[in-house]
Amino acid sequence: MDQDEYVSIRRMLDSFREISQRLYQIMKEEADKLDITIMQTLVLAGLSRNPNSTLGDIAEEMHSSNSTMSGIVDRLVKANYVIREHAQSDRRLLTLRLTEEGERKQKEAYRQIMHRLSTQLNDYTSEDLNHLISAHDHLLKQLQS
């Protein structure tokens, strides 16, 4: 590899870092408006997609530890957004699901975040975004090999 390729790779890394930071900032601003955290928003979304998940399932999906996720779920239970229940198949197993209030909060958070992002990304067509996703998928496969 020559110096030009190193510069290009560095620019790519800087770009991903800046985009990641900005997306985090946008999501935080929108979550703050709803008086929840980004991680709580992501857990609500995960439970919306996969009701009756275990704490371990959610922790794995969020790439987080069980102890970290336990604290997040405790706060969601206390806020009446999530219910812990014993699984019917195995009473020793606790599953999580959204309450009606949790479903409303999840939908509201999703709607706000998507509205904000669609407004800020309105210069991009669906084709542009699909091309970007394809390039990212290809890059991820290269990095995983």
Rounded to whole angstroms, the Cα distance separating 82 from 77 reads 5
Residue 90 has pLDDT above 90, yes or no: no
Rounded to whole angstroms, the Cα distance separating 84 from 41 reads 17
Split at pLDDT 50, 70, 90, the class of 41 is: very high
Instruction: Give the per-residue pLDDT at 103.
Output: 98
Rounded to whole angstroms, the Cα distance separating 3 from 15 reads 18
At 3-14, the pLDDT tens digits run 889 999 999 999
Residue 91 has pLDDT above 90, yes or no: no
- Give the tokens for residue 97: 């699901």
Assess contact for 45 and 96: CB atoms under 8 A.
no
Split at pLDDT 50, 70, 90, the class of 92 is: confident
Assess contact for 96 and 84: CB atoms under 8 A.
yes
Instruction: Tell me 124's DSSP state.
Output: S
What is the chain's percent helix, strand, coil content, to nearest 5? 70, 10, 20
Rounded to whole angstroms, the Cα distance separating 72 from 39 reads 7
What predicted TM-score, i.e. pTM, was given to this entire model?
A: 0.84
Mean pLDDT within 107-123: 95
Rounded to whole angstroms, the Cα distance separating 91 from 86 reads 5
Split at pLDDT 50, 70, 90, the class of 133 is: very high
Residue 93 has pLDDT above 80, yes or no: yes
* Domains annotated on the chain, with CATH: 3-144 (1.10.10.10)
Which residues neighbour 136 within 8 Å (Cβ) at sequence distance 6 or greater?
none
Instruction: Give the per-residue pLDDT at 14.
Output: 97
